[in-house]
Amino acid sequence: MNSKPIQIKKEGPSDYERLRDEALVMVQKLSGHIWTDYNIHDPGVTMLEQLCFAMTDLRYKTGFPIEEILAGPTGHIDPKAHAFFNKGEVLSSGPVTTTDFCKLLLGQVVGVEQVWIEPVVAKSGSTICKGIFKVLVQPDESITTTGQYDQLKEDVKGCLMRYRSLGENFEEITILRPLNIAIKAAILVDGKQHVKETLAYICNTIEQTIHPPVRFLSEAELLAMGKTTEEIYSGPLLSGGFIPDEDLKPLRIQVDPAELIKAISSLDGVLQVKYLYLSLDGNNFSNKQVRIPSGYFASVDISNSMNDISIVSDQFEHHSQDALFWNVFERIKEIRKRHYTGQQVAMIDTTLQSTYRDLGKYYSIQHFFPAIYGIGREGISKDETDARKAQAKQLKGYLLFFEQVLANYAAQLGNISHFFSPAEKSTYFSQSLDDVPGIAQLLDPGYLDALPQTGESNERKEAVLDHLLARFNLPLLPYPITLFQRLYGGISTLEWKAGLLKKLPDLMYARIQAEAGGYQEALRQLLFIHQEQGERLTAVFEKSHLSITNDHPSEEFTVYISDEILHVVSEIPPDEEGYYFGHQPLHLLKYGIDPVHYRIVENHDHYLVLYKSPGQRIWQAVARHTTQEAALAAQIAMIRHLKNISIQSEGFYVVEHTLLKPLFTDPVYGFRVKNSKGEVLKEAHHLTFVDREKALEDVSGHIEFFVMATPWHVLPESFFKFNITIVLSAWPARCQYEEFRRFTESLFRDLTPTQYKLKFRWLGVNDMRKFEAAYFDQDNKDKILDFLT
């Protein structure tokens, strides 16, 4: 396969000579009937040459390396200004696989020496175990010596639940206890070797073989091992370094003397392992394998007196473990211990430096014209006639049209760093022609202020942001933000996309995290929902001074406005100012934000603010004021207040059915067997052997598994398997539009892994209050199950 890169062949060099020749050809075609020899003494040719020279200069500036074009005055390239993300931000992700979670615990939880995570599997064919994992943790010496097993378990649980994926749970966490193994061995070594050092290396090898340490390596080390950058940064980004997959060894369930003998024999200076025996009690030594019971991990304490490791050298036998031995042993142990090299190098943009070229600066071509033209810095002689001076100004003004284009090109090149910046709204840049000699005589100073106002639309900048977002495979549909703008006003689509781009690395990193992570936050950002984490959606009604219902007696009357008769009902208490909407349905939040549904009328010595939704016949007096200005201000305030209620109460809750499942240790899991007719079989019938085999084959597909989640809830296991209920507020203005509901549900499905089944519940205020009371009561699952079932 040809690895030579494909290149786009240019038509030819865009240099000065080529530009000049092509320009002269075009001029001759356009003005061939005018007599001239098109030589250098012709003023038109002189101007043409100067313009070609200026264009060549711009081409030269454009040809600088991209890093020099992007560099700022200090030579630094600001990554945020160019929407650059480092490899640690874009290649890594939150933990997804069991390997990822193992690395996460090793890198974040102090006291974890090794960890194993396995899915819970049912042998019976039950599927309730899907998404449930068990965790085995091997603690390090700081935990085994202090006995802080419970605290370690809490730390592990907290870390896993904080980063767990949607619909998954870590139910069983076991902190393994050390099982000390005594070793009795005799090893023949070369007499030329230092005996104490050799013994220290042998003891260290025994420890390393029984439970190999987990290494934290640097990016450079992994690249040298043949790993690609994508492989290195795959998975969670740890602060301590990178953990190679091969360091995550399987859980050891036995210790084999032959394995230890092989490891010791590979050491320099070891001639022969004469014998090696293992024992759990220090008395009964054997050369057989030692099995590790469940709940324990194999441990060797070299300082334990039960060990008897002797070194045979030059017919002498050495057993002592003196100070020299321990110094060497601890030094070797420290060298091989886990070292945190750090991944901070991935987060530092040390390479984003280059030479600053100041490419945006424009130098006027009028400096290069012959002095006889009178348009350079020297200007025209004061002795010239007024007509000659006017001709010089006329030429300068004529050239300004060309120079403004050239200067703007330089400004565009100088501001290329802002072109891709999410914070910068403009994509077109210009600059004043202040370098043109005598410019003040031709242009008013106000021209400088008006120049940036080019009437640029947001479409070009939005296209730039769409391109940047597409790098992350995140095409955006603007429907939710356009509906937000139409109903509530405020933010623009451009600001929405720019805000998304700034948060994108964090959102993509945790895109399937369940606990206040990227999944819910990404949906809020894409729907532009302002829900605060942990805040009840109905809390806005407790803080609101808006009354939707009241017990005041109503008053009915008629108001005449021109040719229109308004039937009005008022429940506003006398001599009281406020907002009183009476018994209005919740579509008040949909229609009450539109001024077209309001009227201000005079009634006796007051001005009333009237409201009527589409389809209603009676106008509701919602506010009373003594002046028309105050009534108008009240109407504006009411509309703003209704908008705020909708904005603050838009949101959703994610209910993962997996988390409602009882623990596997609870005696609540049952099954029933039915025949092909759906009848529950209570006893075995006496059949022929063939008929019994056929009957067993028939019922094998009719075994039903169920869970007694509470004494009042006996549910099929399918209720807990990959089921998620999304509970949303139905009353905000946007949420009352059926199109928005369909869009929201479709977006949830697009961002949710395909194995999950989603169910949507749009609730009114009263139902949502009941649900929130159950949702925030973490100790009582009955209420949630009542709601879901």
Euclidean distance between CA atoms 671 and 737, whole angstroms: 44
User: Residue 348 pLDDT more than 50?
Assistant: no
- Is the pLDDT at 465 greater than 60, yes or no? yes
| pLDDT band at residue 715 using 50, 70 and 90 as cut-offs | confident
Q: Assess whether pLDDT exceeds 60 at residue 9.
A: no
Torsion angle (degrees, nearest 10) of CA 514, 516, 519, 523: 140
pLDDT band at 294 (very low <50, low <70, confident <90, very high): very high
775: its two tokens: 């949702």
Phi-psi region of 558 (alpha: psi -120 to 50; beta: other; left: phi over 0): beta
- Cβ partners under 8 Å of residue 637, min gap 6: none
- Which segment of 207-221, 337-351, 397-411 scores lowest on mean pLDDT? 337-351
Average pLDDT of span 79-106: 88
Whether the predicted pLDDT of 351 surpasses 70: no
Strand ranges (E), 730-785: 757-763
Q: Give, in degrees to the nearest 5, the angle at Cα 303 between 301 and 304.
A: 70
* Residues ≥6 apart with Cβ < 8 Å to 628: 600, 602, 607
Structure tokens at 7: 């290149």
735, HSE (Cβ side, Cα atoms, 13 Å): 27
**Which pLDDT value is given to residue 8?**
47
The distance between the two most distant Cα atoms of the chain, rounded to a whole number of Å, is 132
Q: Is the per-residue pLDDT at 564 higher than 90? A: no
Residue 548 vs residue 617, higher pLDDT: 617
Of the candidates 129, 251, 73, 264, the one whose C-alpha atom is nearest the C-alpha of residue 183 is 264
Q: For residue range 579-607, what is the model confidence (pLDDT) as tens digits? A: 666 566 778 889 888 998 888 888 778 88
Percentage above 70 pLDDT, the chain: 85
Distance CA 789, CA 768 (A): 16
pLDDT attached to residue 263: 92
Burial of 79 from C-beta contacts in 10 A (0-12 / 13-18 / 19+): middle
Q: How far out from the chain centre does Cα 5 lie? A: 34
**Is a pLDDT exceeding 90 seen at residue 757?**
yes
| Euclidean distance between CA atoms 765 and 538, whole angstroms | 7
Quickly tell me which residue has 């759906």 as its tokens.
678
Q: Using CA atoms, how far apart are residues 706 and 502, in angstroms rounded to an integer?
A: 47
Pairing of β 713-716 and β 723-729: unpaired
Lowest average pLDDT, out of 273-282, 340-349, 372-381, 757-766, goes to: 340-349
Say whether pLDDT at 508 is over 70.
yes
**How sure is the predictor about 686, in pLDDT bands with cuts at 50, 70 and 90?**
low
pTM: 0.80
CATH of region 89-178:
3.30.300.30
Q: Which residue has the higher pLDDT, 559 or 737?
A: 737
What sign has the CA pseudo-torsion 662, 663, 666, 669? positive
Mean pLDDT for the chain overall: 83
Q: Is the pLDDT of residue 511 over 90?
A: no
The model's confidence at residue 669, banded by pLDDT at 50, 70 and 90, is confident
Whether residue 695 is predicted with pLDDT greater than 60 in this model: the reply is yes
Q: What is the pLDDT of residues 177-210, one digit of tens each?
A: 999 999 998 888 887 777 788 888 888 888 889 9
Secondary structure, 3-state, 267-294: CCCEEEEEEEEEECCCCCCECCCEECCC
Spatial separation of the C-alpha atoms in residues 496 and 508, rounded to whole Å: 17
The token duo for 786 is 């009542």
Per mean pLDDT, which range of 445-459, 474-488, 495-509, 586-600 is the poorest? Answer: 445-459
DSSP state at residue 510:
T
The tokens for 43 are 């003023």
Compute the average pLDDT of residues 11-36.
76
- Tokens encoding 498: 């720019």
CB-based contact 719:657 (threshold 8 Å):
yes
Q: What is the pLDDT of residue 518?
A: 81
- Residue 353: is its pLDDT beyond 60? yes
Q: Is the pLDDT of residue 313 over 90?
A: no
Map residue 377 onto helix, strand or coil: coil
Dig out the tokens for 480 from the structure: 């939710």
Which ranges in 337-385 belong to alpha helices (H)? 344-347
> Domain coordinates of the chain in residue numbers?
11-63, 89-178, 180-346, 542-649, 663-707
Cα–Cα distance for residue pair 2/136, rounded to 1 Å: 50
Question: What is the predicted pLDDT for the residue at 354?
Answer: 87
Token pair, residue 90, equals 């874009």
pLDDT for 199 equals: 83
Reported as a pLDDT band with limits 50, 70 and 90, residue 345 is very low
pLDDT in tens, 356-367: 889 989 999 999
Query: What pLDDT was estimated at residue 759?
Result: 96
For residue 235, pLDDT beyond 70? yes
- Distance CA(308)–CA(203), nearest Å, equals 11
306 vs 686, more confident:
306
The pLDDT assigned to 346 comes to 45
- Is 339 a residue whose pLDDT tops 60? no
Instruction: Write out pLDDT tens, residues 107-129.
Output: 999 999 999 999 988 876 777 88
The predicted pLDDT at position 122 comes to 80
Among 401-405, 461-465, 756-760, whose mean pLDDT is lowest?
A: 461-465
Angle between helices 493-509 and 459-470 (to 10 degrees): 10
Q: Which of 93-107, 693-707, 726-740 is predicted least confidently?
A: 693-707
For residue 453, what pLDDT band results from cuts at 50, 70 and 90? low
Question: Strand ranges (DSSP E) for 496-581?
Answer: 555-561, 564-570
**E strands, 703-756, in order:** 703-710, 713-716, 723-729
What pLDDT does residue 191 have?
76
The pLDDT score that the predictor gives to residue 326 is: 74
Confidence at 10, pLDDT banded by 50, 70, 90? low
For strands 652-656 and 723-729, give the pairing.
antiparallel
Helices and strands per DSSP (H, E), number in the chain:
27, 22
Report which of 503, 516, 561 is spatially closest to residue 163, judged by C-alpha positions.
516
Burial of 12 (0-12, 13-18, 19+ CB in 10 A): exposed
Pairing of strands 619-625, 564-570: parallel
Give 545's pLDDT tier (boundaries 50, 70, 90): low
* pLDDT > 90 fraction of the chain, expressed in percent and rounded: 30
